[in-house]
A and B are shown apart, each in its own frame.
Chain A
Amino acid sequence: MNPVTGAAFALATVGKVMVFFTLLMLAVMLATIFERKVCGFMQDRSGPNRVGPWGLLQVIADGLKNLLKEETMPAQAVRPFFLLAPVLGILPATILFAVIPFASPLPTQWGLVEMIVADVPIGFLYVLAIGSIGVYGVAMGGWASGSKYSLLGGLRGSAQMVSYEVALALSLVPLILLTGDVRAPEIVSMQQTFTAGPATYATWFVFPLLIGLFFFFVSGLAETNRLPFDMPEAEAELITGYHTEYSAMKFSMFMIGEFAHVITVAALVTVFFLGGWDIPFWQGDNIRVLSDGTVIGEPTWWKTLLTLGAFGVKTSLLVLVFVWIRWTLPRFRYDQLMDLGWKFMLEAVTVYILVIAFVILGIEAVGIPAGGWYAFVLFLVNLALAGALFFAMDRGKLIRGGAKGVKSAGGDAAEGREG
């Protein structure tokens, strides 16, 4: 069965856009109630539980409330940008979802429909490009509000997001070194086992690229402005920063954007490092569509549903980790945040890319073909690096006073300057 073409392709794409956008908005609604429930449990409370079963309808009540509330417009606000900012906050997070493969391809009578809205050849480069646009919502919202607290929040937010974008992009370079392709479906296929077709690694990239996952996740936290990197919001200092002046649905759009961003980053981590929609320990779901249209594996509709479920489970678990971190770790101070981003993450990721590149060179010189053993060697290297990283971070004191003459973040210890 060949992939769909022509009018069927256009129709399928429109259908997928509608289905996935609805699913994403539904997921955002569930994520808000999920976060409130989990944080309640962590504080020995029971969380919202009055509206509907287990408080599930609380989100609908909140949505209705936000629709009915008064929209305020500060006198100092710059009207067009003030109105535009919430849209820019919500837009990147939602259109990022276009390049994420959700499930194995679905066979229909017109052909095979890949479960991805736009299988663009530039793959995750699109992710990085669109992810960068997210900063506009924050910066514009902060500036257009005409309030100094909002402005500070917006400034901090833009500086932070721009800084961590570097580490975010670099942490994906080892992934390109392994896959040689940036298309998301291809990255998922590379993590599965196939008997035919081009060689794959037969294991999730979390093993051969453990540290890459760590850096990607930390930068992802910073990109989504979640604790411990919620500089732009900083409730105590900035009265929630860039969206202080927003009310009702405009405020709600910022929140939807934030949660959509969290889900998107969780989905990206799933695709890049946790095998995407791959179901572990089962080879039946390994379906690959090569760029010339050849299909390896046997796609069926129930496999599509099962893999969609697997994708959902992995993404939800990652969202749980996001929430867990948010309700545990305190916020970094601003200089600590910048130190961590520029003086530690950037160097560490660069060193990591070099190490992985040299190891790959070594493995190929020895002559191990791409596959399980290849990944295993990389996994061992990553374990050693993880040990070294933990040692450095433990000794290096990521958090310390920023006064002059005091040694600064992480990297110091690795260079042996610690007393």
Chain B
Amino acid sequence: MPGDVKVVERPRAESSYVRAAAKGMSITMRHLLSPNKKTQQYPDEKWELAPRTRGTHRMAVHEDGRAKCVACGLCPTVCPVNCIKLVPAEDENGERYAAIYEIDEFRCIFCGYCQEVCPVEAIHLGVHYENAEYSRERWVYDLERLVEQEHPVTALWDPQDPASQ
């Protein structure tokens, strides 16, 4: 060490190992005795999700159980990652419906554009996160599966204030 370097000793209260150790021990003992535990018993006790949480999709249905989708083709167009596959068809009454509607949830980035763009409020993101599957194929949700989902749908905007004013 060069001779002109001035070594400044830290004050004892800060640098004493004994005092610091005693302080640490008292802190851990306080936490040991405190009844206020933060653990959440996850599968029994679930996290309360925010209404705007964006999770896996859900398709809204009419009262007779048909999907609300009119196969307009807006959602596959707006989807930034191309995860929606839509093949439109027309029934005997001339109403359009989705013959094939598949969403690859692995590709989906949960941006919510599909829900925003949907003119009939058919496709929605869901407030939902427990999606474990045994195979990748199961992650491609077809129309039947989308209709079956029961979790609450995401509120992308406040219904009282849709334009966020």
Interface residues of A (CB under 8 A from B): 38, 40-46, 324-325, 327-329, 390, 393-395, 397-399, 405, 419
Contact = CB atoms under 8 A, between A and B. Distances in A.
A397 B17 contact: yes
Contact of A328 (B15, B17, B28, B34): B28
A394 B31 contact: no
Nearest to A391: B18
Interface of B: 1, 9, 12, 15-19, 21, 24-25, 27-29, 31-32, 34, 36-39, 41
Given A41-B32, A45-B39, 18 more contacts: A42-B28, A44-B38, A44-B39, A46-B39, A324-B28, A325-B25, A328-B21, A328-B27, A328-B28, A394-B16, A394-B18, A394-B19, A395-B12, A397-B16, A398-B17, A399-B17, A405-B1, A419-B9
A387 to B, nearest CB: 12
Given A324-B25, A328-B25, A405-B1, A41 B18 contact: no
B39 A42 contact: no
Query: Which of B29, B37, B41 has its CB near the most chain A CB atoms (within 10 A)?
Result: B37
Contacts of B19: 394
Contacts of B9: 419
A384 B140 CA distance: 76
Contacts of B18: 390, 393-394, 398
A312 B78 CA distance: 70
Contacts of B21: 328-329
A149 B39 CA distance: 35
B25 A41 contact: no
A42 B32 contact: yes
Question: 3 closest Cβ contacts across the A-B interface?
Answer: A46-B39, A398-B17, A328-B28
Judged by DSSP, the binding face of A is loop
B25 to A, nearest CB: 5
A390 B31 CA distance: 26
22 contacts: A41-B31, A42-B28, A42-B32, A43-B31, A44-B34, A44-B37, A44-B39, A45-B39, A46-B37, A46-B39, A324-B29, A328-B21, A328-B25, A328-B27, A328-B28, A329-B21, A390-B18, A393-B17, A394-B12, A394-B18, A397-B15, A419-B9
A327 B28 contact: yes
Contacts of A324: 25, 28-29, 32
Nearest to A409: B17
A46 B24 CA distance: 20
B34 to A, nearest CB: 7
Contacts of A42: 28, 31-32
B37 A38 contact: no
Question: Considering residues A390, A395, A397, A405, which has the most beta carbons from chain B within 10 angstroms of its beta carbon?
Answer: A397
Contacts of A45: 37-39
Contacts of A41: 31-32, 37
Nearest to B29: A324
Contacts of B1: 405
A288 to B, nearest CB: 37
A327 B28 CA distance: 8
Contacts of B38: 44-45
Nearest to B16: A394
A211 B64 CA distance: 84
A172 to B, nearest CB: 24
A44 B28 contact: no
Contacts of B39: 40, 44-46
